[in-house]
Amino acid sequence: PPPAAASPGPGTLNPFDRRLKRKQKNWAALQAEPAKCDYLREEVQGRRRWRDHLETFPLALDVGSGRGYIAQHLTKETVEKLVQIDIAENALKNSVESEIPTVRVVADEEFLPFKEDTFDLVVSSLSLHWVNDLPKAFKEIQQVLKPDGVFIGAMFGGDTLYELRCSLQLAELEREGGFSPHVSPFTAVADLGHLLARAGFNTLTVDTDEIQVNYPGLFEVMEDLQGKYILCMGESNCSWNRKPLLHRETMLAAAAIYQEMYGNSDGSVPATFQIYYMIGWKYHESQAKPAQRGSATVSFGDLAKIEGLLKREKK
């Protein structure tokens, strides 16, 4: 097993039980029809439009590959050889076939077992939100990239499932006098660019997107998230301070709050998934560099005059 499989215990820098997460992902990979549970991942890969961003890379790494969701959106023209790593061996054993020559390695995102300057491209999709030490994971990715190599990733953002979280918290406060987390904590978008820059990436691009899924009510949301879909994707909450059970009265109150606060006109309720997309490059001397401070020949104050100057030039 990879080094992080033996989780040392809860703490400020250790919010997730990585051993439990490994078990969850292994269980998910053995389900009879895992493809039915991949709709969210497939939607993220489709919106990322990998082919539009990629050139030709001799060697690529997929961090937290799962069953190989990204590989299905790559071709031999974009990636000549692909290495997939995941903490769950069952996910790698049940990977979707790809036309790209692929090597699969059981490894943890925080402990990449590769030499520095190895890969031309590193990709990751919906995996890094379960990492205990995200700055370290970004640093590991930056180190295994070759100079001028690029990292392209996607992860769940801080507003994911905010309707569900708010409804459960209000219901627990009302019925039990306090609340516990039922949804995993996520990184804020304001921190993401800073973390990537600290890891050594430059020419950064960070943007957000939202995917909204409508359900008949809160109980259907919980059924899908805890059972049929998210658990099948290995996305069950593995926080050390998670609460194992919810009282029936609390659930009924949460369902009423969910419907009242967020319900759609047709009676359904939305579940929102926020996605962060990120691109960062490893430094190389051939990359474009910012001009020195004070070297500009045009002032920002002149921008308002551009339209008039262009009209005068046309005349």
The proportion of the chain whose per-residue pLDDT surpasses 90, expressed as a percent, equals: 33
φ/ψ of 272, rounded to 5, equals -100, 135
Q: Which residue ranges form the domains of the chain, and what is each CATH number?
A: 18-284 (3.40.50.150)
| pLDDT score at 54 | 61
CA torsion angle for 113, 114, 120, 121 (degrees, to 10)?
A: 10
Q: Please state the rounded mean pLDDT for residues 260-270.
A: 94
Give per-residue pLDDT as tens, 51-73.
555 678 999 999 988 888 888 88
Instruction: Provide long-range contacts, Cβ within 8 A and 24+ apart, for 283-292.
Output: 283/147, 283/148, 283/200, 283/202, 284/147, 284/148, 286/148, 287/148, 287/202, 287/203, 288/203
The encoded tokens of residue 3 equal 């080094």
Q: Check pLDDT > 90 for residue 102.
A: yes
Strands 269-282, 145-156: pairing kind: antiparallel
| pLDDT score at 6 | 45
Q: Are 19 and 13 in contact (CB under 8 A)?
A: no
DSSP 303: G
Q: Check pLDDT > 50 for residue 240.
A: no
Average confidence score pLDDT of the chain: 80
Give per-residue pLDDT as tens, 24-48.
777 776 766 655 556 777 777 767 6
Rounded to whole angstroms, the Cα distance separating 153 from 80 reads 19
Q: Please state the rounded mean pLDDT for residues 260-273.
A: 93
| pLDDT score at 85 | 92
Strands 119-125, 102-106: pairing kind: unpaired
Q: Please state the rounded mean pLDDT for residues 11-35.
A: 67
Q: Are 180 and 243 in contact (CB under 8 A)?
A: yes
Q: pTM (2 decimals)? A: 0.77
Rounded to whole angstroms, the Cα distance separating 288 from 181 reads 45
182-219 core/surface letters (b: 16 or more CB in 10 A; e: else): bbbebbebeebbebbeebbbeeeebeeeeeebebebbe
Give per-residue pLDDT as tens, 150-167.
999 998 888 888 998 899
